[in-house]
Amino acid sequence: HTGLVAIVGRPNVGKSTLLNRLVGQKISIVSRKAQTTRHRITGVLTEGAQQFIFVDTPGFQTHHQNALNATMNRTVSQVLNEVDVVMFLIESGRFGPDDRKVMKLLPQDAKVVLVINKVDLEEDKGKLLPFMQQMSGEFPFAEIVPISAERGSNVPELLTTVGKYL
């Protein structure tokens, strides 16, 4: 199976770190001009019979938010609807206004995996479960997966989880 996977989230949540961690040395050579119709390919990973194509969704940058009107927001949602899975990244214990802005653009009918990154920064591990429970009430996430992109913790499990939806 081959599937398109978008990684979205406000700046600094760890999207690039996760992509590097996922694709790592296994990065396929992708032409800089390689494009799907409405996505820019940022990485390709082949794991056994599965191929993950990681894509950027143009217009999904929070710093363009001020210019985003309702029509553009709909366009972003439509574009995200074309992918098989959306990975929505936030930081452990933090769900702020900028995260919420991104979340509001997520299509309701797509498979969205909430990725709680930087769990290594959380000193009180007992806070993770309540935070996951809080987040499950914010959006109909298909899955919620805590990781540390920097350390690589739980990243293989994230890939397995995403792979279920390809």
Reduced to 3 DSSP states, what percent helix, strand and coil does the chain have, rounded to the nearest 5?
35, 25, 35
What's the rounded Cα separation, in Å, for the pair 102 and 44? Answer: 24
**Residue 131 known to bind ligand:** no
HSE, CB side, 13 Å, CA atoms: give it for residue 30: 19
Length of the chain: 166
Give the residue, chosen from 1, 2, 12, 16, that forms a contact with Mg ion under the rule CB under 5 A: 16
The residue (of 121 and 129) whose beta carbon lies closer to ligand GDP is 121
Contact of residue 11 among Mg ion, ligand GDP, none (CB under 5-8 Å per partner type): ligand GDP
The residue (of 74 and 157) whose beta carbon lies closer to ligand GDP is 157
Q: Do 143 and 128 form a contact (C-beta atoms < 8 A)?
A: no
Q: Does 42 bind ligand GDP (CB under 6 A)?
A: no
**Residue 156 known to bind ligand:** no
Give the residue, chosen from 16, 36, 81, 160, that forms a contact with ligand GDP under the rule CB under 6 A: 16
Q: What does each C-alpha distance from 88 to 14, 23, 30, 125 come to in angstroms?
A: 11, 17, 24, 21
The residue (of 50 and 153) whose beta carbon lies closer to ligand GDP is 153
- Interface residue list for ligand GDP (CB under 6 A): 9, 11-17, 117-118, 120-121, 148-150
